[in-house]
Structure 1
Amino acid sequence: MPQRATSEPITVRTAKVSEIDALANAMDRSRNYIVNQAIEQYLEANTWQMERIKSGVAATREGKVIPADEVFAGIAAKHGWER
């Protein structure tokens, strides 16, 4: 079941409103749809990124790291690059 929408005033730069409207028209969607999709994607991406950062910090604290030289050497070897 879809979540019930709440109303929250926001301020959007004039230039961005034009871009939102252009995209909405091209997609045959409403401005509201475009804005809500953008917010949802932004939150998903940033939530994922923050989880990865926290995981990386925890791994570092536990000593579960590979020295950068080894990582770069592995990448170079995989692609046949000289190091």
Structure 2
Amino acid sequence: MNAFTPITAELDAETMAIVDSLAAAKGMTGPQFAAEAIRRVAESEADYRAFIQVGIDAADRGDVVPHDQVMAELDRMIERHQSRCK
């Protein structure tokens, strides 16, 4: 069983009204909704940081594509797209 740790956050009345409304629509309490929202944001942030770290690790290994090469490929892609749109 997971242990839970209570937290306290100050919310303005408008935000609290949104939380209460959304929680009620989902059949949850405000604290349950807040816990779910915090979990989702925390997981998303952790995923994003892991994604960024993959790029940092690749750059540290020298596993990168030179800027000029990337721009040349983008220019070719734009040219192909523009020729199809004429």
- Structure with a larger share of its residues in helix: 2
* Distance (Å, rounded) in 2 between the aligned partners of 1:41 and 1:71: 36
Mean Cα deviation higher: 26-35 or 59-68: 59-68
Using the size of structure 1 for normalisation, the TM-score is 0.77
1:59 offset after TM fit, Å?
A: 0.6
1:70 offset after TM fit, Å?
A: 5.3
* Distance (Å, rounded) in 2 between the aligned partners of 1:12 and 1:22: 14
- 2:32 is matched with 33
Residues 1:62 and 1:30: Cα distance change in structure 2 (over 3 Å): same
* Distance (Å, rounded) in 2 between the aligned partners of 1:35 and 1:71: 45
Q: Based on CA coordinates, which of the two structures has the bigger radius of gyration? A: 2
Task: Could you tell me which runs of 5 or more consecutive residues in structure 2 were left unpaired when the two chains were aligned.
Answer: none
Superposed CA deviations along residues 10-50 of structure 1, whole A, max 9, x for unmatched, are 21222111000010111111111110110000000000111
Count of aligned residue pairs for this structure pair: 79
1:9 offset after TM fit, Å?
A: 1.9
Report % sequence identity. 19
* Distance (Å, rounded) in 2 between the aligned partners of 1:11 and 1:36: 14
Task: Could you tell me which runs of 5 or more consecutive residues in structure 1 were left unpaired when the two chains were aligned.
Answer: none
Residues 1:30 and 1:55: Cα distance change in structure 2 (over 3 Å): same
Task: Give the AA of the match of 2:62.
Answer: G
Residues 1:42 and 1:29: Cα distance change in structure 2 (over 3 Å): same
Task: Give the AA of the match of 1:36.
Answer: A
* Distance (Å, rounded) in 2 between the aligned partners of 1:22 and 1:71: 48
1:73 offset after TM fit, Å?
A: 5.4
